[in-house]
């Protein structure tokens, strides 16, 4: 069915224990079964001992790959032939360049910390320039030395307080706007904490490593050391870049191979076993059952037993969708994955979202720019990420904006004549009531469809009262729509309007009685269809703004070249702003009408996505 996910079948496999590793490899390469932990009352199987070694090596290789500098520009992947687990372990353990990556990165961290320390020394020494202080003389058995900076009026108070004390030598220096340096020398028996208490001071570390000799000497040594460290840092970065250039693909191939081996070594934890056999369970698409049965039987030379299982576990969700529409599935998963036992609304979302977006943008020029922007986003974003998949959906919706722009004759806010006029089916400025009625009909149709789907879902779960509550809710929407349109727009005669309103209220009471706690949602039966008029509102706003921009700022050479250039820039900037606003509202409101107004009538979500035991090959053959 179009409005359902793929039918799934749970299976149980009984196999000889001696075939365990080869069967795991076979299943991993086939990638057709979502393996689940068996609940049979048998002894649990254990992963092989090498799992710990493989996991540690995977963590190490992951760390090394993350430390490599990012790859720039276009590149060709050098694939590597996959190695058996034992050879892979030896190869990774003996790869000295992986250790070299960690050593270089560790040394870079040390150099960075040293740079910060040298910056600190330079900052302190700079403050003491022209004070006559020699840091080498600040060691004494009888004297204590301290230095701190003070900001604002507190500096005057501290200065007066310290100058009034005996046996204290003070050096002060203005070191910036409204900031003063204090350097004090006093007997260790003296204490100046009582003077400083309660004041905001920044104490300086006079014992910092490298702070010796005169301030000039300290600064000079620190800068020379920084230069040496910078050269060392550059050499280390070149070394990392060289390793990345030569070994990146090999490291990433090791990563993929280790991921495969860790997944395979971890899988036995899901099995149950006897002395000679093991049992595994999982889900696969029902359409693949017969083919899988033949292949596993052939692979094990008949040494297996496969059976279909019937239990109450919720099957995983597998979409039935062409590849070019997978981004809609991504957005559905981002919202909430459909349960396999409920209606999948994704096809309706695939149809309705572009229509809503197209109506709200409704301009050929804006639609073309939408497509170009969306395509540009897909060129540099992660194919597994939200931005990429939203952009793919946006690409499809852009064609709808172009279509509605053609039939409304809108080209960057301009209406063109000739053949363009002949293709025009409606005018936003003159057919506002028609557009309003169409958007209201969209609202009524989608809300009613949502309630019908809710009726089907509730019947499938044997929730009869709630199911019939949905039917009465449909009656509320129909009769309420007639009553509202008759009252607000005189679409129906007074008697029809009155009786429809009475019928709507009556069915609303019945629906509330049948729905129980869900009756709190019944107030939305009128407001949600009306919410679809936002399509008309945002679409009309965009058209009017574009019209005003064209009327006031269309550039002309009649006033000279400079006014023409100025008006052209303003014209482009305003259209760009209006276009981005229309695009933003089209995406947000188009998604909202589906996810809020429509899905709330039937959709539960919370499904478990089908994740077959499989692996993807990018760096290995």
| Boundaries of domain holding 284 | 1-45+271-316+610-621
**Are 209 and 288 in a shared domain?**
no
Please tell me the total count of domains within the chain.
4
Question: What pLDDT score does 1 carry?
Answer: 58
Report if residue 503 sits inside a domain. Answer: no
Question: What pLDDT score does 380 carry?
Answer: 87
Q: Identify the CATH number of the domain in which residue 166 sits.
A: 3.30.70.2750
Return d(Cα 368, Cα 366) in angstroms, integer: 6
Q: Ranked by mean pLDDT, which of 113-122, 176-185, 443-452 comes out on top?
A: 113-122
Q: Identify the CATH number of the domain in which residue 39 sits.
A: 3.30.70.240
Q: What is the mean pLDDT of residues 26-32?
A: 93
Report if residue 495 sits inside a domain. Answer: no
**Are 146 and 258 in a shared domain?**
no
Question: What pLDDT score does 158 carry?
Answer: 83
Question: What pLDDT score does 394 carry?
Answer: 93
**Are 155 and 205 in a shared domain?**
yes
Q: In degrees, to the nearest 5, what angle opens at C-alpha 529 toward C-alphas 525 and 533?
A: 150
Q: Ranked by mean pLDDT, which of 173-182, 385-394, 531-540 comes out on top?
A: 385-394
Please give the C-alpha separations between residue 150 and each of 171, 203, 549, 603, in angstroms, as whole numbers.
13, 9, 57, 64
**Are 212 and 222 in a shared domain?**
no
Question: What pLDDT score does 163 carry?
Answer: 80
Return d(Cα 68, Cα 252) in angstroms, integer: 11
Report if residue 470 sits inside a domain. Answer: no
* Angle between helix 346-361 and helix 561-592 axes, rounded to 10 deg: 150
**Are 100 and 246 in a shared domain?**
yes
String of DSSP letters for 66-96: HHSPPP-S------BPPPPHHHHHHHHHT-H
Report if residue 337 sits inside a domain. Answer: no
**Are 397 and 535 in a shared domain?**
yes
User: Which of 202, 217, 232 is the C-terminal boundary of a domain?
Assistant: 217
Q: What is the mean pLDDT of residues 146-173?
A: 84
**Are 588 and 562 in a shared domain?**
yes
**Are 142 and 238 in a shared domain?**
no
Read off the pLDDT of residues 198-252 as tens digits, 9 standing for 90 and up.
788 888 999 888 899 999 999 999 999 999 999 999 999 999 999 998 999 999 9
Read off the pLDDT of residues 289-321 as tens digits, 9 standing for 90 and up.
999 999 999 999 999 999 999 888 899 999 988
Read off the pLDDT of residues 54-113 as tens digits, 9 standing for 90 and up.
999 999 999 999 998 887 777 788 889 989 999 999 999 999 999 999 999 999 999 999
Report if residue 79 sits inside a domain. Answer: yes
Return the exposure string of 554-580: e unless at least 16 CB atoms fall within 10 Å of the residue's CB, then b: ebeeeeeeeeeeebeeebeebbeebbe
User: Which of 195, 217, 239 is the C-terminal boundary of a domain?
Assistant: 217
- Model confidence pTM above 0.85: no
Of 431, 358, 442, 462, nearest in space to 400 by CA = 358
Read off the pLDDT of residues 371-382 as tens digits, 9 standing for 90 and up.
999 999 999 898
**Are 212 and 224 in a shared domain?**
no
Question: What pLDDT score does 352 carry?
Answer: 92
Question: What pLDDT score does 570 carry?
Answer: 87
Read off the pLDDT of residues 457-516 as tens digits, 9 standing for 90 and up.
888 888 888 888 888 888 888 888 788 778 876 778 888 888 888 888 888 788 878 876
pLDDT-derived band at 519 (thresholds 50, 70, 90) equals: low
Read off the pLDDT of residues 548-584 as tens digits, 9 standing for 90 and up.
888 888 877 777 788 788 888 988 888 889 888 988 8
pLDDT at 517 over 60: no
* Sheet with 168-176: strands ordered across: 168-176, 179-187, 143-151, 201-203
Report if residue 502 sits inside a domain. Answer: no
Report if residue 66 sits inside a domain. Answer: yes
Question: What pLDDT score does 328 carry?
Answer: 93
Of 319, 323, 307, 371, nearest in space to 346 by CA = 319
**Are 20 and 55 in a shared domain?**
no
**Are 174 and 245 in a shared domain?**
no
**Are 250 and 300 in a shared domain?**
no
Report if residue 482 sits inside a domain. Answer: no
């Amino acid at each position: 069915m179009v409005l359902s996910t793929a039918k799934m079948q749970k299976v149980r496999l009984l196999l000889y224990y001696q075939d365990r590793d080869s069967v795991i490899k076979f299943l991993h390469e086939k990638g057709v079964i979502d393996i689940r932990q068996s609940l049979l009352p048998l002894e649990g199987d254990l992963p092989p001992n090498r799992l710990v070694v493989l996991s540690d090596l995977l963590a190490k290789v992951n760390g090394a790959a993350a430390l490599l500098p990012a790859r720039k520009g276009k590149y060709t992947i050098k694939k590597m032939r996959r190695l058996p687990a034992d050879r892979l372990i030896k190869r990774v353990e003996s790869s000295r360049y992986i250790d070299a990556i960690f050593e270089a990165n560790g040394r870079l961290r040390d150099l960075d910390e040293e740079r910060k320390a040298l910056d600190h020394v330079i900052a302190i020494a700079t403050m003491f320039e022209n004070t006559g202080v020699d840091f080498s003389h600040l060691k004494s058995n009888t004297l204590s030395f301290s230095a701190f900076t003070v900001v604002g009026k507190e500096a005057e108070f501290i200065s007066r307080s310290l100058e009034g004390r005996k046996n204290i030598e003070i050096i002060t220096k203005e070191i910036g706007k409204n900031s003063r340096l204090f350097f004090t020398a006093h007997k260790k028996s003296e204490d100046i904490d009582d003077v400083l208490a309660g004041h905001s001071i920044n104490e300086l570390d006079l014992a910092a490593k490298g702070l010796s000799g005169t301030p000039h000497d300290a600064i000079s040594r620190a800068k020379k050391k920084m230069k040496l460290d910078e050269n060392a840092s550059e050499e280390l970065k070149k070394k990392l870049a060289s390793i990345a250039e030569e070994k990146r693909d090999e490291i990433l191939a090791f990563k993929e191979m280790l991921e495969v081996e860790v997944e395979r070594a971890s899988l036995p934890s899901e099995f149950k076993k006897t002395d000679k056999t093991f049992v595994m369970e999982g889900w696969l698409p029902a359409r693949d059952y017969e083919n899988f049965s033949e292949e596993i039987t052939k692979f094990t030379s008949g040494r297996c037993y496969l059976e279909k299982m019937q239990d109450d576990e919720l099957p995983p969700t597998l979409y039935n969708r062409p590849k070019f529409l997978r981004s809609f599935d991504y957005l559905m998963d981002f919202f909430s994955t459909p349960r396999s036992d409920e209606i999948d609304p994704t096809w309706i979302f695939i149809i309705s979202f572009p229509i809503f977006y197209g109506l709200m943008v409704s301009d050929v020029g804006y639609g073309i720019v939408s497509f170009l922007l969306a395509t540009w986003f897909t060129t540099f974003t992660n194919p597994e990420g939200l931005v990429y998949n939203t952009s793919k959906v946006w690409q499809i919706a852009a064609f709808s904006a172009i279509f509605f722009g053609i039939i409304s004759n809108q080209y960057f806010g301009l209406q063109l004549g000739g053949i363009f006029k002949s293709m025009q089916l409606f005018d936003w400025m003159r057919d506002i009531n028609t557009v309003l009625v169409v958007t209201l009909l969209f609202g009524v149709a989608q809300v009613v469809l949502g309630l019908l789907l809710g009726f089907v879902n509730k019947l499938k779960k044997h929730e009869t009262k709630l199911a019939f509550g949905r039917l009465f809710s449909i009656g509320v929407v129909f009769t309420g729509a007639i009553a509202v349109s008759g009252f607000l727009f005189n679409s129906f005669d007074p008697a029809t309007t009155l009786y429809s309103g009475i019928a709507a209220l009556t069915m609303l009471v019945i629906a509330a009685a049948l729905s129980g706690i869900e009756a709190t949602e019944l107030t939305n039966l009128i407001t949600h269809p009306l919410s679809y008029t936002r399509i008309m509102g945002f679409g009309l706003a965009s058209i009017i703004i574009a019209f005003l921009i064209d009327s006031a700022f269309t550039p002309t050479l009649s006033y000279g070249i400079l006014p023409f250039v100025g008006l052209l820039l303003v014209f482009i900037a305003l259209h760009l702003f209006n276009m981005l606003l229309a695009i933003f509202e089209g995406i947000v409101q188009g998604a909202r009408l589906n996810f809020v107004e429509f899905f709330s009538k039937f959709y539960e979500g919370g499904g478990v996505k089908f994740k077959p035991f499989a692996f993807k090959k990018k760096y290995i053959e």
